[in-house]
Amino acid sequence: MTETDPRLAELAALNAELQAHDQRYYAAAAPTVSDAEYDDLKDRYERLADELGVPLTERHQSTPGSDHSDGFQTVRHDQPMLSLEKANTEADAFVREGEDVAINDLPDDREFRKRTSWGKLEIWERARRKELDLSIAAPLSLVIEPKIDGMSVSLMYDRGQLVRAVTRGDGIEGDVITAQVRESGAVPLTISEQHKFEVRGELYLPHAAFTALNAELSAAGEKLLVNPRNGCAGLMKRKDAEVLRGKGVQSFIYFIPPGLHVMPLPTTQTERLAWLKKQGFSVHHGTTTVNGMEAAYAACLAYTVQRALLDHDIDGMVIKLDDTTTYNRFGETEHHPRWGIAYKFPPERRSTLLRAITIQVGKTGRLTPVAELDPVFIAGSTVSRASLHNFAEIAAKDIRVGDTVIVQKAGEIIPQVVAVDKSKRTTTASAIAWPTECPTCGTAVVVERRPDPSGKENVSHFCPNFACADQVRERLRHFAARDAMDIRGLGPAVVDVLVSYCQITRPDQLFHLTAEQLAGLSLEADVNDKRRTFGQKSADNLIAALAGAKAQGLAKVLAGLSISGLGTKLSDDFAARFGSWDALHAFAVAYIAGDRHAVLSIRKQQKREEQMEAAALGVVPMSGVDETTADNVFHQLVSPAIVAVLKGLEAVGVDLTAKQIVTAAKAGVAGKTFVLTGSMPTWSRSEAESAIKAAGGKTSGSVSKKTDYVVAGSEAGSKLEKAQALGVHVIDEAQLKVLLSS
């Protein structure tokens, strides 16, 4: 392995993706992928790390992710609350209709079986038998418990009273939620046992309670929750604990940590669960005890039938050694105990017929193929359309119209085609041709090929017609979005009408609309198939919102232009550096023309001669943009279509200068350079950057000797390491807030 080994870049990309998903799952309680998809990413990461010989201590997630929330007291667990080792079947291994198969149905290939849940359970059992000096024929009692998809909690009782409830947190420290647990009624507040001891379990929302909670949110016009786990986590982190009364949060308790009790207890997990039930705790009725892993695996497969009948979500089964006297002996790794393992259900998958392919056109002209399917019920809803990502993936998977395809939901929300059942392919199945023209406007398609960090070629198809009606709709929606111009009242339905009936094709044309034009516009039919008009009040509100948006400033305008590669951060950087559209446009023109001053301000890896040339020209390096991004963005900024939009916006009075965001310069911040890395507890990165700039500070995307502070959140990576190596002062969010308030 060398430093240029492309696998290193792929490993780093997988690590970054896993870290991002950890933050969404633990801290934000808003995962964007299913557990199965996450496990697949982790499996790919581990296989690659094995190939590269990466030490276990240097790999992703040596400790569990954190669910800490700002504003809660944090305490250290008397014994770490660790995750369990997982046994899952990898995405491209052997499952049927979304279910694992019996041992005898698996291929004999040993390496292949290691990638299945059974193969991983078999390896775990062999290791435990070896440590216990048990032959393969000797009895090994195992307890199987349904794995609740909820929120982990530690409960401390003393003198028969609940005295403390703590979240799992990062496994070492958790948030105190005693008041929330008491108000929820999810656990007994008093029990008969008088000694001090700790129990652990899961808080969860039953399906009926989750439905009722979403009904409340819908009635209040608020965003609906994705699943019961998110709902439960959100409720338990409410500081106004009284709102939990009657919300229906419940619990299952399943564990008494060894060594954290003084009273005598039974020596098996089975008997301890019975003891917990006698104390008044809820213990899952699906728990069973078997002899040996083959029986345990069979029990896990059998329980998939019961899973659909439960009033709560489970995502697998937990398998533990029944003999609790062995727990201290086996101990744990930094991430999981050795006395238990979690069998994970594969994602729910169903087969259906692929009837046709339609194409969606995005705001940048990207063509996305969509599968039109025979309706099929998956994970709680009927699916008739599913994403196919791009045409190169269709070719790689050899998907054809008329095929029987396997469908699952990404993140339990977005349907996607994951495979083809070629055993059911008929002679009438037809190959899917790559598009040669845009389905909306008929313009010839442009094919773009780019390698990813691993060297794999990504192929994308684009419609280059800036006036394409579908592109226009998507761009206008993006222009009005909160992170861009934030124009309230300009939703998708209104945009559709403006494009269809008012011939709006560019953002600047929105500012020519009048309330009289808008008031009489006919919108979509209501549930009774009755057409409705926009109305005078809505028209007046939208005109007022458009007038207010004129003062948003250059950064917001740039962010709303739907330019590939030009997001909110780079838009902010451009506005801060150039100050006006005229200056930015002039620089872009110079860069495209090869002006040395402009080119050298972008180039990062300069040779000695270039460094001397840059110094002679007085070049100030531009942060936040590399050569590839600059080539892409600046070519778009000088294109006639974008220039026409900016001229039009200027003509109607839209402010194309950088807004002065310094509201009160702070002595400890003004003139200082900050680099943000990792995820912060309460602030998004853009919020933190705005606060720093408002206090007179600057932000940068890279660490150097000139950096004054690195603000490090959870899962901080190489930037933190570089800061420590250079001796740059490292602070966290709380310390940043102190600086900003001083």
pLDDT digits (tens, 9 = 90+) for 389-398: 888 888 888 9
User: What are 33-73's pLDDT values in tens digits?
Assistant: 555 566 667 767 777 776 666 665 566 654 444 555 656 78
Q: Write out the two tokens for 575.
A: 């506005």
Last-in-domain residue among 462, 483, 513: 462
Amino acid occupying residue 544: A
Counting the structural domains of the chain, the total is 6
Long-range contacts of 685-692 (CB under 8 A, 24+ apart): 685/569, 686/483, 686/568, 686/569, 688/733, 688/736, 689/569, 689/572, 690/661, 691/736, 691/740, 692/736, 692/740
Cα distances (angstroms) measured from residue 480 to each of 227, 473, 476, 486: 29, 11, 6, 5
**In angstroms, rounded to a whole number, what is the distance separating the alpha carbons of residues 664 and 688?**
15
User: What are 450-507's pLDDT values in tens digits?
Assistant: 765 445 667 889 999 888 999 999 999 989 987 789 888 888 888 888 888 888 899 9
Last-in-domain residue among 344, 366, 399: 344
Asked whether residue 688 falls in the same domain as residue 643, the answer is no
Does the residue 253 lie in any domain? yes
User: What are 124-162's pLDDT values in tens digits?
Assistant: 999 999 999 999 889 999 999 999 989 999 999 999 999
Give the pairing type, strands 340-344 and 314-321.
Answer: antiparallel
Instruction: Over range 20-37, report the average pLDDT.
Output: 55
| Closest by Cα among 608, 616, 624 to 673 | 624
Does the residue 79 lie in any domain? no
**In angstroms, rounded to a whole number, what is the distance separating the alpha carbons of residues 543 and 610?**
52
Is the dihedral angle over the CA atoms 573, 577, 581, 587 positive or is it negative?
negative
Non-local CB neighbours of 616 within 8 Å, separated by 6+ positions: none
Q: Write out the two tokens for 419.
A: 């495979």
Last-in-domain residue among 549, 579, 612: 549
Q: Band of the pLDDT at 11, cuts 50, 70, 90?
A: confident
Q: Is 147 a catalytic residue?
A: yes
Asked whether residue 573 falls in the same domain as residue 636, the answer is yes
**In angstroms, rounded to a whole number, what is the distance separating the alpha carbons of residues 732 and 329?**
38
Q: Which domain holds residue 340?
A: 143-344
User: What are 630-664's pLDDT values in tens digits?
Assistant: 888 999 999 999 999 999 999 999 999 987 655 66
**In angstroms, rounded to a whole number, what is the distance separating the alpha carbons of residues 180 and 719?**
37
**pLDDT in the model for residue 739:** 84
Q: H/E element holding 353? A: strand 350-361
CATH of the domain at 55: 1.10.287.610
Asked whether residue 173 falls in the same domain as residue 319, the answer is yes
- Other C-beta atoms closer than 10 Å to the C-beta of 637 total 23
User: What are 660-711's pLDDT values in tens digits?
Assistant: 655 667 878 888 888 888 777 667 676 787 788 878 888 877 788 888 999 9
Does the residue 388 lie in any domain? yes
Does the residue 154 lie in any domain? yes
Q: H/E element holding 354? A: strand 350-361
CATH of the domain at 721: 3.40.50.10190
Asked whether residue 288 falls in the same domain as residue 267, the answer is yes
Asked whether residue 507 falls in the same domain as residue 623, the answer is no
Give the pairing type, strands 173-175 and 74-76.
Answer: antiparallel
Asked whether residue 394 falls in the same domain as residue 458, the answer is yes
CATH of the domain at 394: 2.40.50.140
User: What are 610-620's pLDDT values in tens digits?
Assistant: 778 878 888 77
DSSP 258: T
Phi-psi region of 544 (alpha: psi -120 to 50; beta: other; left: phi over 0): alpha
**In angstroms, rounded to a whole number, what is the distance separating the alpha carbons of residues 252 and 283?**
5
Asked whether residue 305 falls in the same domain as residue 331, the answer is yes
Asked whether residue 47 falls in the same domain as residue 179, the answer is no
**In angstroms, rounded to a whole number, what is the distance separating the alpha carbons of residues 742 and 728?**
21
**pLDDT in the model for residue 28:** 47
Q: Per DSSP, what are the bridge partners of residue 371?
A: 357, 386
Q: Band of the pLDDT at 106, cuts 50, 70, 90?
A: confident
Instruction: Over range 10-31, report the average pLDDT.
Output: 62
Q: How open is the CA angle 676-26-199, to the nearest 5 degrees?
A: 135
Asked whether residue 52 falls in the same domain as residue 161, the answer is no
**pLDDT in the model for residue 62:** 41
**pLDDT in the model for residue 456:** 60
Does the residue 415 lie in any domain? yes
Asked whether residue 329 falls in the same domain as residue 212, the answer is yes
Rg (CA), the chain: 29
CATH of the domain at 513: 1.10.150.20
User: What are 299-346's pLDDT values in tens digits?
Assistant: 999 998 888 889 998 989 999 999 999 998 888 876 789 999 999 988
Non-local CB neighbours of 579 within 8 Å, separated by 6+ positions: 554, 657, 658
61 or 628, which is more confident: 628
Burial (0-12, 13-18, 19+ Cβ within 10 Å), 415 = buried
Q: How many helices (H) and strands (E) in the chain?
A: 25, 24
Catalytic one among 86, 147, 698, 719?
147
Does the residue 511 lie in any domain? yes
Asked whether residue 334 falls in the same domain as residue 359, the answer is no
CATH of the domain at 311: 3.30.470.30
Model confidence pTM above 0.75: no
Asked whether residue 302 falls in the same domain as residue 428, the answer is no
Does the residue 80 lie in any domain? no
Non-local CB neighbours of 276 within 8 Å, separated by 6+ positions: 199, 253, 254, 256, 283
